[in-house]
Amino acid sequence: MGLNRHHIEMLAREHLYRPIRGDVLMIGRQTVYLSPDELIETLRGIGVDVSGADAAKIELDRSTLNRAGAREDLVSDRAVFALFGDARVRAIDVSRYEGAEIVHDLNLPVPASQRAIADVIVDGSALDNIFDVAAALRNYSEMLRPGGRLFMANIFSAHGTAYTLTPSLTLLDYFVVNGFVDCQAYIIVREGVGGRRNVFLIDLDFYRERQRDMGCFASLYPMAAFVFAEKGAHSTAHRIPIQHHYRSDADWRDFCRNLDVMRRSTRPLSMRSTDPLFVAEVKGGHLYVDDKFEAVR
């Protein structure tokens, strides 16, 4: 599991919109692929005030092991949130292999003592390694407090070593039917490591209007699913979505009622492309997000 510059930009954009505070829960200890200087520069580029940051005092990663591309000068996951302010960082994992403070198998329901323990949850590619994806999503939702925010970045194509592949639309549907108050669901397309990068956003207006005509996203390039979701005061965790092709009219009425709450959100977009559009034949319902964080219709 790990966080790169684009993930840090996503967190920073959200922090500027609504400060990240309180209890942060990592789904597995995260390798952050930035040095102290690179972290400071990335946050500064997004507009986070890092004028008081001292690169020499930023904690380095001494916990994560055997990660591809890891270097000796990478910062710890705790260090990222220390620059945001008052945030307490813990990790949950199936073992204490990399220093997780909470040990639990997310294929299994979390106990009552682990419900409502987090204001922010960060999954930097854990869901794609969990067999029971539905159980893990329920656990994420139950571990969040009302008002809590979830950041998820997982592999969405068979180009890597993912154990499970979950489309961004499936994740969005889960958060809609469970009454989350906001969700941004992205598809990231890359030409391999260091290659061109396009970002697409699921268009909630298109989905609302066209319903069963919502297009499925496919690409020959490696893809990742990036999803942000915010839990509301009355959100649930147990409701199971029905695929959009098979919803009844009654199901659609309930779904659209919840989707309309998300459509009213004024939250800025948090992911962006680094290159002009190169992915051809994108089906309806997906917006290209340019390098200025603007969705292009």
| Residue environment code for 8-35, b if the CB has 16+ CB neighbours within 10 A, otherwise e | bbbbbbbbbeeebeebbbbbbbbbbbbb
pLDDT in tens, 139-150: 999 999 999 999
- Considering all CA atoms of the chain, what is the largest pairwise distance in Å, rounded to the nearest integer? 59
Is pLDDT of 93 > 90?
Answer: yes
- Comparing 194 with 266, which gets the higher pLDDT? 266
Amino acid at the residue 269: L
Q: Per-residue confidence at 287, pLDDT binned at 50, 70, 90? A: very high
- What local confidence, expressed as pLDDT, does residue 72 receive? 85
Dihedral over Cα of 28, 154, 43, 120: its sign: negative
pLDDT band per the 50, 70, 90 thresholds, residue 175: very high
Q: Identify whether the C-beta of residue 222 lies closer than 8 Å to the C-beta of residue 160.
A: yes
Q: What's the pLDDT score for residue 63?
A: 87
Domain parsing of the chain, residue ranges: 1-103, 117-127+141-297
pLDDT for 235 equals 98
- pTM score > 0.85 for this model? yes
The mean-pLDDT minimum among 96-100, 126-130, 192-196 falls in 192-196
Please tell me which residue, 291 or 72, carries the higher pLDDT value: 291
Mean of pLDDT values over 52-72: 87
Q: What is the pLDDT of residues 178-220, one digit of tens each?
A: 999 999 999 999 998 789 999 999 999 999 999 999 989 989 9
Q: Supply the mean pLDDT for the chain.
A: 95
Q: How far is CA 163 from CA 102, 127, 156, 253, 297, in A?
A: 23, 9, 10, 34, 34
pLDDT at position 250: 96
- Asked if the model's pLDDT at residue 91 lies above 80, the reply is yes
Give per-residue pLDDT as tens, 1-37. Answer: 799 999 999 999 999 999 999 999 999 999 999 999 9
Arithmetic mean of pLDDT, 225-243: 97
The average pLDDT across 116-126 equals 97
More confident residue, 67 or 187: 187
Q: Tell me the sheet residues that pair with 144.
A: 118
Residue type at 217? F
pLDDT of res. 51: 93
- pLDDT exceeds 90 at position 153: yes
